[in-house]
Amino acid sequence: MEQLLKSRLTQVANDTLEKLAFLFAFPDSERVDDGPDPTVVGRVAFFGYFNGSLLMRISSSVIPELAGNMLGLDDGAEISDVQQHDALKEIINVICGNLLPTVAGDQVEFNIEAPKILSSGEAENLPENERPACIVRLTLEEGFIDLYFFIQGEPAELRLNYGSEQVQ
């Protein structure tokens, strides 16, 4: 099941980054840490057929380009921290909103909370008992994005949509 989730999250993230932010990402399964860049962490929680959250850790150096592209600004345009954080929250929200139907099917409803940017203390102090159902590591031209998909409860108990079949 982890491979199925990883495949879908990778596809949704790549599609969303390309279409919404004009960023091209490539899977990087060999990287095991965050790299040397400082990072910003955003998280969005969802509730419904199953509960969980999507956490995104992104290189700080990537966020101005992401925000500028999403806002349609010219290169070198001034982008405030608020605009950068809003763009990051929007991309997390869209990735999560597009991912859930590919995992649970189109007939299932979810409520997605407003995304938030985590403080460095919140990001460092995530509960150790939270183990992601999958982690997707992506490399960009200048930086990286890591996505952590959390599902509350035992993932083995979930019925995930796989085309017309259900996978347990």
From 125, 101, 107, 128, select the one nearest 46 (Cα to Cα): 101
Alpha helices, DSSP H only, in 22-149?
63-71, 81-104, 120-124
Domain ranges of the chain: 2-154
Give tens-digit pLDDT for 75-126: 778 899 999 999 999 999 999 999 999 998 888 899 999 999 998 777 776 6
Q: What percent of the chain is predicted at pLDDT more than 90? A: 60
User: Residue 1 pLDDT more than 80?
Assistant: no
Asked if CATH classification 3.40.1550.10 holds for the domain at 2-154, the reply, yes or no, is yes
